[in-house]
Structure 1
């Protein structure tokens, strides 16, 4: 049985009062989903677990700032993504090079159709092999559902750079998938 929104809010309210039992309940409700987000971002199980733990600590410290304007899961996911980016920066990963080039994306370039023989598992494995700068953009755009404006804010880049990196990431993913066939 899935907990109701009211129950979630009750647990969140308890967390705002620094109730350790409620914090464990909230952790239990969201830990698997947040681990998946972190893993897609950092591409390393150990680091993803560390990211998730740090993100939950930050969330509990800042839970008073949660105003119920967005779903709690979305608020928490943003913290996990930001924590993931911090970890990648520590690793000195070249996430996104600054690019001033302007690219116009044609309809053909926006086509995300893939061959029928390619499975979702093939796509996930191919994405894991990409450079971080491409994997991160593809993950945020395709899997997490962020648009270019949101990606630009998260990564502190321009929307145009987000589009450019997405296009390059898509092309790198296509090449990686061709090698799998």
Structure 2
């Protein structure tokens, strides 16, 4: 563990000095994981590849801002997530801001589904939801972001994040229930 951290620290120092071999080593260590993160958002291998490449370019150009407060992988993942969202927004993504005064969000932490439904089936159903719900559910469930982080990433309020998550969860449950009843997705 200590040796790995020391190795990463050395690689990052070399990257700060524009060492291409060190950049390639970091790229090779993280490219598969970052591609998977991008693919969860982009749903298309070509777009995921493009987002991943752009994220690495940005990471290497901004590596001097990496302070080591989190792991390099976590820092890079945040760049990939933000780049994915920016790409989605530039294409057609529109998050409508809700008026917080009219919202009464109930925290519902029950995420149980029927035992016969696999994680892959849940992911498939999430990918069929309207994009605003899919994005919130992906950030919350798969990427592990909390509402404060989601609100910052998407430039929405925490209340809106909670509301969209709750609505997305309701749609997800409806679709999973249809599947459970044999009516498909």
Match of 1:30 in 2: 30
Please list the CA deviations of residues 13-56 of structure 1 after superposition, one character each: whole Å capped at 9, or x if unmatched: 11111011111100011111111111112222211110000000
SS of equivalent to 2:57: helix
TM-score w.r.t. length of structure 2: 0.91
- Name the CA distance, whole Å, in 2 between partners of 1:110 and 1:43: 27
Which residue of structure 2 aligns with residue 125 of structure 1? Answer: 124
Question: CA deviation digits over 1:129-177, x for unaligned, max 9?
Answer: 1111111101111111111000000000000000000001111111222
Number of residues paired by the alignment? 177
Are residues 1:112 and 2:148 paired? no
* Unmatched 5+ stretches in structure 2: 181-185
TM-score (normalizing by structure 1): 0.93
2:127 is aligned with 1:161: no
Q: Distance in 2 between matches of 1:10 and 1:179?
A: 53
1:62-141 equivalent positions in 2, closer than 5 A: 62-94=62-94, 96-100=95-99, 101-106=102-107, 109-141=108-140
1:95-118 Cα deviation digits (max 9, x unpaired): x21111312315xx3211111010
CA RMSD of aligned residues (A): 1.5
User: Is the 8 Å Cα contact of residues 52 and 80 (structure 2) preserved in structure 1?
Assistant: yes
What SS is found at the alignment partner of 2:105?
Answer: coil
Structure 1 gaps, min length 5: none
| 1:10 CA displacement | 1.1
The residue number in structure 2 matching 1:61 is: 61
